[in-house]
Structure 1
Amino acid sequence: MSTAAGTRTGTAAGPTTGADRRTVPPRRRGSRMRRREALAGYLFISPWIVGFLVFTLGAMVYSLVISFSHYSLATDLAVPAGLDNYENLVADPKVRIALANTLFYAVLAVPLEIVLALLLAGLLHRLGRGAGVFRTIYYLPKMTPAVATASIFLLLLNGNTGAINKGLSILGIQGPQWLLDPDWVKPSIVLMTLWGVSGTMVIFLAALKNVPRELYEVASLDGAGPVRQFFAVTVPMISGAIFFNVLVLTIAALQVFDQAYLLYGPAGTGTTPDAALFYGVYLFRQAFEQFNFGFAAAMAWVLFVLVLIITVIQVRVGNRFVYYEGEVR
């Protein structure tokens, strides 16, 4: 009885035999292996971590510090200024003009790029043979250097000898002075931006290929036409891609710089009208032409806060309309 009880007690109490004790070391070896794998992973990504801490996070912290000082690159001297830079920023009429131009550009450029990219993606999605060739052709403008693109559009948008106005004159339409008329300056820059629409198009094309064909068949059996299928099937199923592209394009539009600077900077017309004075261009000039780095840093942080606020609003609103497959609502 006592022997049986002791045997049962030993069994219930836990591992007591030599065979059972030998199961512990493999667990420890597995734990050590996981730690080694984690260490190897951190070592592999350590260049990125160091780069982020030094060149991104460190630069952001430094810019925040000098935004509260009068700092000039010419003298390399920082004098504490408190909130002077931010007060000057609010009082500067050029800042208000640049911010208004940037917001107007974003409102105009983002929807147009979304619509055009979705249209091109839809056309490519319907192609069978030769789709790869057209995808390559459509994507080539995205690979063109920004300087080359600006040079092309300086020729195309010339109000007197440009190819666009010559084409319009054949149709009996008097083309505007694209690069000189304040009413047409921002649309001209938007046209230049749409030249690189293929990046957004590729994302939409990938999303369209993931839409199940069965959904279109069911919608067709229910009597839905192409337009109804587009809004009832296609748009909900690619809403995630639409949401992503809107976020990315909005952030990029609020930081627009190269298009305007290349068209109206030293390499372009040489003079920047108020209609082409975007926030990023004015920030660049304050920093690298006026050497007023404290004021430029304050402008950068105001832009950062503005982009953050707009992004948060878009995320809060957009998540209500985005369909995530498998999500229970």
Structure 2
Amino acid sequence: MTTSARARRERRTGLAFISPWIVGFVVFTAWPILYSGYLSLTDYDVLTDPAFVGLENYERMAADPQVRLALWNTLQYAVVQVPLYVLVSLALALLLHQAGRASGFFRTAFFVPKMTPPVAVGVLLLLLFNGQYGLVNEALAVVGIDGPSWTTDPAWIKPGLALVSLWSVGTAVVILLAALQDVPTELYDAARVDGAGWWRRTRTVTLPMISGALFFVTVVNTIAAFQMFTEAYSAFFGAGTSSYSNDAALFYVIYLFREGFAELHMGYASALAWLLFVVIMLVTAVQLAVSRRLVYYEGEQR
């Protein structure tokens, strides 16, 4: 068998193995994305056939004050949550890295809360951050701090949600811990010989060597922050709450959900989804551009 024939055979075999994924991607991801692009150009209420309206949904979106409010709320949340999430993840990973044999137990302990359903996390927010009898404010009172009204004061709703998001910090901790364990010990030894203390070793060795993992965690969590939905919806817009009345908790995906599935404006909701897609792409592109200066990959020529 010639080399080219063997290569074609291996290519066909590889395609056969990944064909289930290809079919699933086309049917459940690529096609819905393309179809939603078409629906964004229509007036569609699910009950009747889509009626083509051109760019009318996008024109409506540009003039909709609720879109600007939802985008602003989402941006504020992301600006608070992403740095906090990454810093706490890094701090916990650094602690676990020093735990030795006990790190396996604590790694599991930090990851288990990730399995909690997001709806339960939303209920947890109301219980922990209640302004009158919540556990967080009671703990603050012990040290003489008068805690804010986390769930009713518009200025504290997004910080409260950002703090609750730390409940699921385990995934990032595991990723960063794996990156820390991959840092060559020779670099630390050389830094100690040069007289570098802990902070200098962390700044000049640890952070550059795990910058790729930090960048990955930052990008993934930024995308997740822009798609904040379940925790905020279950806490502020679900059953038993004043539905759609809390403007400070009106995140973009919540507004998209309301337009698509409560109001049955599916064409308009599709346009909203495409705007979110563009915003996330732009933010990710900026992060990628910045990463060229800040992220170090081992073996990369500089």
TM-score normalised by L of structure 2: 0.95
Which structure 2 residues correspond to residues 74-113 of structure 1 after superposition, within 5 A?
75-113=47-85
Quick one: which amino acid aligns to residue 44 of structure 2? Answer: Y
Considering only CA atoms, is the larger Rg found in Structure 1 or Structure 2?
1
The equivalent of 2:104 in structure 1 is 132
Q: What is the deviation of 1:31?
A: 4.6
Question: Is the Cα contact below 8 Å between 1:254 and 1:307 reproduced in 2?
Answer: yes
2:228 paired with 1:294: no
Q: What is the deviation of 1:317?
A: 1.3
* More displaced 10-residue stretch of structure 1: 291-300 or 76-85: 76-85
Q: Deviations over 1:150-205 (max 9, x none)?
A: 22222111112211122222222222211110011101111111111111111100
The equivalent of 2:28 in structure 1 is 55
Which structure 2 residues correspond to residues 196-215 of structure 1 after superposition, within 5 A?
196-215=168-187
- Partners in 1 of 2:18 and 2:207 — Cα distance? 37
The equivalent of 2:284 in structure 1 is 311
Which structure 2 residues correspond to residues 37-76 of structure 1 after superposition, within 5 A?
37-73=10-46, 75-76=47-48
- Partners in 1 of 2:48 and 2:152 — Cα distance? 38
Question: Is the Cα contact below 8 Å between 2:125 and 2:161 reproduced in 1?
Answer: no
2:129 paired with 1:154: no
Structure 1 residue ranges, 4+ long, deviating more than 4 angstroms after superposition: 30-33
- Partners in 2 of 1:92 and 1:290 — Cα distance? 15
Counterparts in 2 of 1:268 and 1:324: CA distance versus 1, 3 Å:
farther
**Equivalences, count:** 301
Q: What is the deviation of 1:76?
A: 2.2
Q: Deviations over 1:85-113 (max 9, x none)?
A: 11111111110000001111111111111
Q: What is the deviation of 1:33?
A: 4.3
Quick one: which amino acid aligns to residue 64 of structure 2? Answer: D
Identical aligned residues as a percent: 50
TM-score normalised by L of structure 1: 0.88
> Which structure 2 segments of 5+ residues have no match?
none
Q: What is the deviation of 1:36?
A: 3.2
- Partners in 1 of 2:67 and 2:228 — Cα distance? 15
* More displaced 10-residue stretch of structure 1: 216-225 or 31-40: 31-40
* More displaced 10-residue stretch of structure 1: 280-289 or 150-159: 150-159
Give the alignment partner of residue 8 of structure 2, picking from 35, 42, 46.
Answer: 35
- Partners in 2 of 1:82 and 1:110 — Cα distance? 36
The equivalent of 2:113 in structure 1 is 141
Quick one: which amino acid aligns to residue 15 of structure 2? Answer: Y
Give the alignment partner of residue 190 of structure 2, picking from 212, 215, 218.
Answer: 218
Find the residue that maps to 2:228 and give its secondary structure. Answer: coil
Question: Is the Cα contact below 8 Å between 2:97 and 2:181 reproduced in 1?
Answer: yes
- Partners in 1 of 2:259 and 2:116 — Cα distance? 29
The equivalent of 2:255 in structure 1 is 282
CA RMSD for the aligned pairs? 1.4
Find the residue that maps to 1:76 and give its secondary structure. Answer: coil
Give the alignment partner of residue 169 of structure 1, picking from 126, 136, 141.
Answer: 141
- Partners in 2 of 1:237 and 1:326 — Cα distance? 11
- Partners in 1 of 2:288 and 2:201 — Cα distance? 26
Question: Is the Cα contact below 8 Å between 1:157 and 1:179 reproduced in 2?
Answer: yes
- Partners in 2 of 1:48 and 1:320 — Cα distance? 35
The equivalent of 1:244 in structure 2 is 216
> Which structure 1 segments of 5+ residues have no match?
1-25
